[in-house]
Amino acid sequence: MDIKQAKSYQFPESVAGQDMVCDLVFKKKKVKFFLLVLSATVLFFVYVNQLSSKLFDPEKENYPSTPSIAISSDIQTLQNIPDRPSNHVYPLKKKVNYESSHPISLNTVELETGNLNPPTQQWAHAQIYKAMVYKNWTYPSVNEWGSCSSKTYYFSNLRTIFTGTPKTGCSNWLIALLNAEGVLRKEIDPKNVKFVHGGLTTNRRVSAMLRKKLVTPADLDKAFSFAVIRNPWTRMVSGYRDKVSSEKTQGGSFRGIGMAIVAKSRNISDPELLEKLYPTFDEYARWLVFKNGRLDAHFSPQIRTLCIPNAMYDYIVPLEHSARLSKDVWRRIQASDTPLLGSYDKSSDPRNQKSAVLAKRWLSQLPSEIVNQLYTIYEADFILLNYSNFTHPDFPLPLHF
């Protein structure tokens, strides 16, 4: 007798007949319980396996709809690229040696003290144009701010557009801009990320404002625009310290990603054990290589979040020189009394700040093939401001002198 027959079976009066049917029903319950346990086990292992490859895909942003040219791992020389397009108003001060950005070629570079001063805006714009040539991009005839990522904001009272790329001091800048806009009445801790990037800034995203007709393209065309860019090496280290490390001062806010890195690197599936573990920088670096730039905006190349090439910024701020250049930004938007909060680091010299010091130490300990693979992924970011390698005496400053 099978289970289907047992369901319609009329219980006999004999005890033996009743026992036979009860045994079939009990076996059915055991099969169901076994299948339930098996399904739960399979789902758990699928979940752990996907932590590092599926669950943490890049956040769904409105990235620029521009051709994505694969970055070559070969060293390319941009000496033959024109310093500026014929219709560009920012002439290049002098030729820039692109090869000096490559990890392998910087060991013999001598100290250039001029890099301690901020680069001119003319140089910055011309260097960004070189990055665009490298990516085979061109500016449109009219700025297309509506095609930018959701990290681009418009402050109507200031008539200012700002792109806040994660890990370039964007929280500090957003707080300062909100303060200058007149919407903040008390000081905010930049580490209170949910508040900083919540309702007060969500309704200032350019793409959303255009969609809701809260701003017009004509308004944006008249606005002052700027963005902050950072050395990819120190940004990479900052992302590790701030988001996935065990550092008590700021680490661990992306705990799930940190656990996923450990699960993949050490082949660990026990969730209770994973809760207690944090990835090393070596494991983090190899995870970045594994993901090949397909990451959350805190870890992906900056050029994906910037509005380039959909729009041309009026002003470029290298994070390493933000203490000095921020004063110029405030003067341009007539908010000179607005203070820019400092970083977590007490050192005012970017060469001595903790992320720069740790970058030199940790990157030098990685295998050269990992360093070169990382450089290939973030190569366009290095070209943006001709950023120095961690072996350079002026690291992490742009090499413009």
- pLDDT for res 374: 97
Q: What is the mean pLDDT of the chain?
A: 77
**What's the pTM?**
0.73
Neighbours of 214 (CB within 10 A): 14
DSSP 230-264: --HHHHHHHHIIIIIS--TTT--TTHHHHHHHHHH
Query: What pairs with residue 163 in β-bridges?
Result: 152, 227
- pLDDT for res 335: 73
Query: What would the pLDDT profile of 188-233 be if each residue is shown by its tens digit?
Result: 765 666 667 777 788 899 999 999 999 999 999 999 999 999 999 9
- pLDDT for res 23: 53
Pinpoint the alpha helices (H) of 105-185: 121-134, 170-181
- pLDDT for res 21: 40
Q: Is the pLDDT of residue 75 over 60?
A: no
Q: Which of 16-20, 131-135, 341-345 has the lowest mean pLDDT?
A: 16-20
Neighbours of 378 (CB within 10 A): 23
User: Residue 219 corresponds to which amino acid?
Assistant: D
How do the domains of the chain map onto residue ranges? 3-50, 98-239+291-384
User: Residue 362 corresponds to which amino acid?
Assistant: W
Query: Span 144-152, mean pLDDT?
Result: 95
- pLDDT for res 243: 92
Nearest to 357 by CA among 370, 341, 346: 346
**Are the C-beta atoms of residues 254 and 248 closer than 8 Å to each other?**
no
CA atoms within 13 A on the CB side of 271: 9
The Cα 40–Cα 45 span in angstroms is 9
**Are the C-beta atoms of residues 321 and 385 closer than 8 Å to each other?**
no
Q: What percent of the chain has pLDDT over 90?
A: 54
| Cα-Cα end-to-end distance for the chain | 90
Residues shown for the chain: 401
Query: Which residues 6+ apart lie within 8 Å of 354 measured at CB?
Result: 241, 345, 347
The Cα 23–Cα 5 span in angstroms is 13
The Cα 357–Cα 363 span in angstroms is 10
Q: Which two tokens stand for residue 289?
A: 């290589």
